[in-house]
Amino acid sequence: MKTFIGIAFTFFLLAVQSIRADDNHQAGIFNDETLGEVTFHVSCTPPAQKLFNQAIAMLHSFWYDEAEKTFRYVTTVDKDCAMGHWGVAMSLYRQLWATPPTPEELQKGRDALQRAKQLMTKTDRERAYLEVAGYLYPDDEMIDYGTRKLAYQKAMEQVLAHNPDDSEAAIFYALALISTASPKDKTYSNQKRALNLLQEVLQKEPGHPGVAHYIIHGSDYPELARFGLKAAREYAQIAPAVPHALHMPSHIFIRLGKWQEAVHSNLAAYHAAKRYAKKNAQMAAWDQQMHFMDYLIYAYLQTGQTEKAEEILREVQAIKKAHPENTTSAYAFAAIPARYAVERGNWHEAARLNIDPADFPWKKFGWCEAITHFARGLGAARIGKIDEARSILHQIEALRDSDKTANKHYTADQIEMQRLAVAAWIAYGEGKSKKAEKLMRASAELEDATEKDNVTPGAIKPARELLGELLLELKKPQEALEEFETSLTQTPNRRNGIYGAAQAAKLTGDEQKAHHYERQLQELITTGEIHSIE
């Protein structure tokens, strides 16, 4: 209980600081204490240098819109500050986010770098930063996003090699390593290299927002999450003005099954995002607010806070316009209703889900649209509407094939996991037990072979957890128990995983293990935490 009160009070204080920051903020004017401590020396006037440091702090916290505004302000305060234009270009490069830059953003980046090159660059270091940014904005638009990211990463490595004492070079290179890591590399070589670099900078600059932020991103994997817990508990205090900084710790909290901390993190971020949108007179819902809502409903559902989860659902269902219309908003629109139905095991509700909002440009986001069809297909199959489930399966297949044709291999694989799962439960409904198990195992193995995207707190339903449920239906409790326990190592403290493990253990006759999981489940429901696991 002391832990719960402490967490709640910490995020209350952070929310107060965030409100004060909103009240004090004008374009390019911020209290440094609410952004973090950054010193990036550039050849500009002292007033421009101060603003430049603030803009870099915003950039490192992925507050891209505010960073761009502030970098542009730098170029008006000091018209000869070439690095201000570099900052504008870097604010348009959102390298860990799922949606690549639009053609308009690419042109804006090129224009900013062109303006920088027209000014006198006074140091080799600054010239190097400008040259490296050029890899992100080539004149040849046929160079794909992944190729540009990799070229930038390799060039940033050279900047660090020539400037070994430059903390910013180390931080930007670490982020580039994380952004180019393959989701299929289970050695996490890029992430580990990045974490080593960031730990070195941390010793010198403990209040730097980018260090804490990127340690969290570099640790956002089941096998590495424990290494990010300290940074997660510090980052929001380093940059309390930034909605993303209030949210980001929950990536680690969710990885470790620390649901109350995840709730408080995202509540603080959600309220900060709503204030930011209101202050900027946004008529549509800000995509970041919706992102925080998805993480929040996920945590609420794990602790059995169904009424609060329903409030989030109703709010997102009332949203008819998001800004920008990108993967982040598309994912939240699809995932939140799907989670609410599937996590509660309400298969009739899942089967009735619709693509909503109907006028959203879903054709651009097939992976996100597939989430709704996955929930519908799974729901239909599990209530015996096999013909309906088969029809939905064809829709999922079409979306998978479309992404394959477009060389969107990661999202095609994500859709394929869902297709296999729906096909498995259709086979079960048809009485084809062996086929059902084979398909469901294939889904789980595919999920094991890759990683989740940053846009999501987790799968709508982990494939191994779903495999455990299927094995229970097939009267194979020992195998089911093994799958639930394997799933819980990847997604600790998930309510349905614990419940399934308790059921399976009881059916095997292992009363001690059944009691262990039942005790965990009760603790999770009553306190929102499992204190026996750290």
Report residue 116 as tokens: 């920088």
4 in a structural domain: no
In a domain, 103, yes or no: no
Q: What's the whole-number mean pLDDT along residues 425-430? A: 99
Q: Mean per-residue pLDDT for 45-69?
A: 98
Cα–Cα distance measured from residue 317 to residue 313, given in angstroms and rounded to the nearest whole number: 6
pLDDT of residue 23: 46
Average pLDDT estimate for 326-341: 98
What local confidence, expressed as pLDDT, does residue 14 receive?
55
Residues 6+ away with beta carbon under 8 Å from 384: 429
Taking only the tens place, the pLDDT of each residue in 147-189 is: 999 999 999 999 999 999 999 999 999 999 999 999 999 999 9
Distance (Å, whole) CA 150 – CA 222? 25
Q: Indicate whether 129 belongs to any domain.
A: no
- State the chain's mean pLDDT as an integer: 94
Number of separate domains in the chain? 1
Find out whether 52 and 30 touch, Cβ atoms under 8 Å.
no
Residue identified by tokens 């424990």 is 226
How many CA atoms lie within 13 Å of 55's alpha carbon, on the beta-carbon side? 30
Residue-level pLDDT at 368: 99
Is the pLDDT at 29 greater than 90? The verdict is no
C-alpha–C-alpha distance, residues 120 and 43, integer Å: 10
| Model pLDDT, residue 243 | 98
The DSSP 8-state label assigned to residue 494 in this structure reads -
CA–CA separation, 138 and 140 (whole Å): 5
Question: pLDDT digit string (tens) for 261-303?
Answer: 999 999 999 999 999 999 988 889 999 999 999 999 999 999 9
For 190, other C-beta atoms within 10 Å of its C-beta total: 19
29 DSSP 8-state letter:
B
The confidence score (pLDDT) of residue 25 equals: 47
Examine residue 294 and state whether it is found in any structural domain, yes or no.
Answer: no
Q: What is the pLDDT of residue 47?
A: 98
Q: Which among 134, 139, 228 is positioned nearest to 178, based on CA atoms?
A: 228
Please state, in angstroms and as integers, the Cα–Cα distance from residue 118 to each residue in 83, 108, 114, 139, following that order.
12, 16, 6, 17
Q: What average pLDDT does the segment 373-390 reach?
A: 99
Q: Got the DSSP string for 292-331?
A: HHHHHHHHHHHTT-HHHHHHHHHHHHH---EES-SHHHHH
The whole-model pTM stands at 0.93
Count the residues in the chain.
534
Phi and psi based region of residue 305 (left: phi greater than 0; alpha: psi -120 to 50; beta: remaining): beta
Which residues, other chains included, contact 86 with Cβ-Cβ below 8 Å and sequence gap of 6+? 112, 113, 116, 126, 129, 130, 133
| Alpha-carbon 16 to chain mean position | 25
Query: Is residue 533 over pLDDT 80?
Result: no
**Residue 201 confidence (pLDDT) above 50:** yes
Q: Could you tell me the two tokens for 314?
A: 């109703």
Residue 345 has pLDDT above 50, yes or no: yes
Q: Which domain holds residue 351?
A: 336-527
Residues 255 and 222: beta-carbon distance below 8 Å: yes
Residue 426's CATH number = 1.25.40.10
Checking if the pLDDT of 532 tops 70, the result is: no
Per-residue pLDDT band for 529 (boundaries 50, 70, 90) equals confident
11 confidence band (pLDDT: 50, 70, 90): low
- Using pLDDT thresholds of 50, 70 and 90, give the confidence band for residue 531: confident
Residue 405's CB is within 10 A of a number of other CB atoms, namely 9
Q: Is the pLDDT of residue 391 over 50?
A: yes
Query: 150-189 burial, b for 16+ CB within 10 Å, e for fewer?
Result: ebbbebbbebbeebeebbbbbbbbbbbbbbbbeeeeeebe
Residue 321, phi-psi category: left (phi > 0), alpha (psi -120 to 50), beta (remainder): beta
3-state secondary structure of 107: helix
SS3 26: strand
pLDDT at residue 193, rounded to an integer: 99
328 pLDDT above the threshold of 60: yes
Q: For tokens 């629109």, name the residue.
A: 333
**Predicted local distance difference test score (pLDDT) of residue 17:** 53
